[in-house]
């Protein structure tokens, strides 16, 4: 999302951009993007290279490729059988940043991210962004989270509020960790009207998730550093959409449908927040695979918060682990007679659209595009 939005803003500013917009974010994917864009002599003709990079591959890729600006949004548990615990990833990137002196744009509302600003005291190009409290923020953490203790003095962090998971306004009561100068702050967040402000400038988007407000403030922070005009950013962000199943809004035979990728607990919980903030009656399709790219360990589904679903009249589950996610939903207290598991994805989609109620679709990594394709067959 953020990678594609940065590229879209730069293209709107008439810059030539090369980017891995399809999300192939490991070493081979980035190399293939460069190969497809270079001349026979290996020369690249572009104003910007904009890459989404897998967290674990940041030190690998940028040992060979000069990095001018790094944007870090958040850290959550993801594919534990491949990545290990979050702390191991953070330490790996922190080690890389000890010698990095380029622009570093960090989410100040994630205690796991803000700590990276102190990796290299000699780097004076560190920029923090933040988002003011929005209407559905809470006093207590509602979902699984990672940032509970100060990484410098081990004191338990104090939160003024939580936006989602462990993202929110925090500070260490002992050493004041988290009290940083903010470069770009989003204010007046209105998800209903899909607007927010930065520096008293109103931005309109096509997305209604607090998660994406953070994405767009990161985009504004990055593009401002490169002198992109405010009017250009406003125009680009108001038109930017993702037609790849990531918060994609479709109408299938007059039935409103929202599809979103969720490959870890936080992605799932953010999707469910969007669902719960919508008071309309709706039905949910949750598709869960456990292929190699997903991670064979799906124990993370027990950190998804299915409690108190708002006006969800039926849930269909599918994928290779259709019954696992169905059991998880049942144990949350959702009525078992309203849960329908189908190992066959075409059958699940067929059953989903036997009613004309609004649909929400959550799918993990390898199930996203097959699910989207099955849905589009009905259009």
Residue 42 DSSP label: S
Q: How far is CA 267 from CA 133, 209, 211, 337, in A?
A: 20, 11, 9, 26
Q: According to the model, what pLDDT value does residue 84 have? A: 58
Q: pLDDT tens, 226-260? A: 999 999 999 999 999 887 778 889 999 999 999 99
Using the predicted structure, report yes or no on whether residue 142 has a pLDDT greater than 80.
Answer: no
Q: According to the model, what pLDDT value does residue 363 have? A: 96
The CATH code of domain 2-239 reads 3.40.1190.10
Count CA atoms within 13 Å of residue 275 on its CB side: 31
Using the predicted structure, report yes or no on whether residue 42 has a pLDDT greater than 70.
Answer: yes
Which CATH architecture group holds 248-376?
Answer: Alpha-Beta Complex (3.90)
Mean pLDDT of 320-326: 98
**Same fold across 2-239 and 248-376:** no
pLDDT-derived band at 266 (thresholds 50, 70, 90) equals confident
Using the predicted structure, report yes or no on whether residue 264 has a pLDDT greater than 90.
Answer: no
**Domains of the chain, residue spans:** 2-239, 248-376
Q: pLDDT tens, 67-82? A: 999 999 998 876 555 5
Q: What percent of the chain has pLDDT over 70?
A: 97
Q: pLDDT tens, 151-203? A: 999 999 999 999 988 999 999 999 999 999 999 999 999 999 999 999 999 99
Using the predicted structure, report yes or no on whether residue 375 has a pLDDT greater than 80.
Answer: yes
Q: According to the model, what pLDDT value does residue 71 have? A: 98
**CA torsion through residues 289, 295, 296, 301, sign:** negative
Q: According to the model, what pLDDT value does residue 302 have? A: 93
Of the candidates 111, 107, 287, 141, the one whose C-alpha atom is nearest the C-alpha of residue 213 is: 107
- Farthest CA pair distance, the chain: 63
Of the candidates 112, 91, 93, 106, the one whose C-alpha atom is nearest the C-alpha of residue 167 is: 112
Location of structure tokens 């410098």: 152
Mean pLDDT of 131-148: 84
pTM for this prediction:
0.83
SS3 of residue 214 by DSSP: helix
Q: pLDDT tens, 50-60? A: 999 988 889 88
Angle (CA) 63 69 72, round 5°: 90
Q: According to the model, what pLDDT value does residue 56 have? A: 82
* The pairing of beta strand 17-19 with beta strand 48-50: parallel
Mean pLDDT of 296-310: 92
Q: Which residues pair with 184 in a beta bridge?
A: 129
Looking at mean pLDDT, say which of 31-40, 82-91, 355-364 comes out highest: 355-364
């Amino acid at each position: 999302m953020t990678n594609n939005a940065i590229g879209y803003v730069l293209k709107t500013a008439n810059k030539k951009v090369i980017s891995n917009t399809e999300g192939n974010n490991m070493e081979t994917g980035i190399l293939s993007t460069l190969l497809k864009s270079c001349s026979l002599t290996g020369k690249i003709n572009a104003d910007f290279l904009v890459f989404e990079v897998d967290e674990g591959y940041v030190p690998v890729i940028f040992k060979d490729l000069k990095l001018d600006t790094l944007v870090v949004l958040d850290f959550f548990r993801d594919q534990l059988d491949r990545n290990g615990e979050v702390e191991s990833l953070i330490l790996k990137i922190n080690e890389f940043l000890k010698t990095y002196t380029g622009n570093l744009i960090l989410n100040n509302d994630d205690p796991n991210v803000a700590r990276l600003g102190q990796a290299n005291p000699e780097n004076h190009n560190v920029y923090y962004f933040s988002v003011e409290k929005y209407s559905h923020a809470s006093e207590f953490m509602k979902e699984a989270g990672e940032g509970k203790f100060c990484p410098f003095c081990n004191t338990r962090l104090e939160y003024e509020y939580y936006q989602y998971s462990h993202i929110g306004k925090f500070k260490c009561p002992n050493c004041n960790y988290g009290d940083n100068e903010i470069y770009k702050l989003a204010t007046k967040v209105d998800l209903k009207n899909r607007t927010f402000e930065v520096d008293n400038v109103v931005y309109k988007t096509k997305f209604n998730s607090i998660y994406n407000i953070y994405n767009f403030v990161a985009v504004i922070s990055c593009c401002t550093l490169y002198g992109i005009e405010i009017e250009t950013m406003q125009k680009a962000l108001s038109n930017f959409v993702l037609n790849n199943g990531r918060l994609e809004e479709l109408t299938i035979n007059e039935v409103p449908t929202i599809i979103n990728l969720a490959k870890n607990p936080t992605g799932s919980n953010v999707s469910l927040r969007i669902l719960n903030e919508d008071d309309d009656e709706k039905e949910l399709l949750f598709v869960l695979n456990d292929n190699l790219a997903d991670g064979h360990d799906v124990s993370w589904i027990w950190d998804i918060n299915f409690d108190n679903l708002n006006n969800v009249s039926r849930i269909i589950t599918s994928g290779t682990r259709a019954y696992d996610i169905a059991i998880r939903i049942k144990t949350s207290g959702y009525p078992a007679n309203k849960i329908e598991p189908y190992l066959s994805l075409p059958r699940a989609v067929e059953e989903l659209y036997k009613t004309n109620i609004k649909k929400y679709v959550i799918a993990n990594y390898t199930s996203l595009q097959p699910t989207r394709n099955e849905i589009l067959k009905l259009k």
